[in-house]
Amino acid sequence: MNFGAVRSIYLAEMARTKRTLMQSVVSPVISTVLYFVVFGAAIGSRISEVDGVSYGAFLVPGLIMLSLMTQSLSNAAFGIYFPRFTGTIFEVLSAPVSYLEITVAYVGAAASKSIIVGLIILLTANFFVDLEIRHPVWMVTFFVLTAVTFALLGFIIGIWADNFEKLQFVPLLIVTPLAFLGGSFYSIKMLPEFWQTVTLVNPVVYLISGFRWSFYGQADVSLGLSLAATSLFLIGSLAIVHWIFKTGYRLKA
């Protein structure tokens, strides 16, 4: 692998974060903190505990995952779409850099940005509630897997989109609603039995459940199922990226 090329693309993408610090880091952190304050105050006054965990603390893993998914996806989508929009993508494609190296650089940068945001939110949450991370290794595992998986999904969207409206379509109208309905703010066990079954179709449920288990040992679905669903999502995204570069879909035109 050409680590020099990967490093160059990676650093160029990370440098863009410094130029858009308010949009890339400050804005999502403030938005998540507001979610935490509003939901924690409004609903927390009526729901004291969920599965033996205070509602304020229960919210934290879901909010971190919500931010992690949306930021990974949007950063990766814009990161690859903008070079396509300006035409500079052809310079990258014509350089002695493999498709794997291009993917690693762009996806790695997007995942790194979202992980930084997620860590800031995690540290900020400590000022509001007492957090407990019972399984730190699993927490890091789900943290990184989710960031990389949604960065790959964003990479796919950035190549598929041919205008800025399509670039925002999937994050706003698909991923965010799925995250809200995937147990970010509640346990799916609180739903009627029929809706519990329907909710299990939502893949985001497994991501949030596994991540929350790493904090409190409480989950809506088993750890093995959460890990399997996350890994399957990752493998599927990798397969689509491989197909895109193999066929040159929306890259060679």
| Residue range 50-65, pLDDT digits in tens | 878 888 888 899 989 9
pLDDT of residue 91: 79
Is residue 23 over pLDDT 80? no
Question: Does 253 fall in a domain?
Answer: no
Distance CA 70, CA 216 (A): 24
Cβ pair 72, 91 in contact under 8 A: no
Give a yes or no: residue 49 inside a domain.
yes
Model pLDDT, residue 253: 57
- Answer yes or no: is 40 within a domain: yes
Which of the pair, 81 or 93, is modelled with greater confidence? Answer: 81
* pLDDT exceeds 90 at position 249: no
Q: Specify if 219 maps to a domain.
A: yes
Distance separating alpha carbons of residues 68 and 83, to the nearest angstrom:
23
- Position 236 scores a pLDDT of 94
Give the C-alpha separation, 206 to 158, whole Å.
Answer: 25
Q: Which domain holds residue 133?
A: 3-247
CB distance 185 to 46 below 8 Å: no
Report which DSSP code applies to 188.
G
User: What is the sign, positive or negative, of the torsion defined by CA atoms of 146, 152, 158, 161?
Assistant: negative
What pLDDT is stored for residue 45 in this prediction?
64
Question: How many domains does one find in the chain?
Answer: 1
Please tell me the predicted confidence (pLDDT) of residue 33: 78
pTM, two decimal places: 0.90
Whether 70 is covered by a domain: the verdict is: yes
Domain assignment present for residue 252? The answer is no
Inform me whether the pLDDT recorded for 239 exceeds 90: yes
pLDDT at 243: 92
Q: In this structure, is residue 93 part of a structural domain?
A: yes
The answer to the question of residue 88 being in a domain is yes
Residue 196, both tokens: 């519990």
Confidence of residue 148 (pLDDT cuts 50, 70, 90): very high
Q: Which residue has the higher pLDDT, 56 or 106?
A: 106
Contacts of 105 (CB under 8 A, 6+ apart): 5, 6, 7, 8, 9, 10, 13
Look at residue 216 and tell me whether its pLDDT is greater than 80.
yes
pLDDT at 150 > cutoff 90: yes
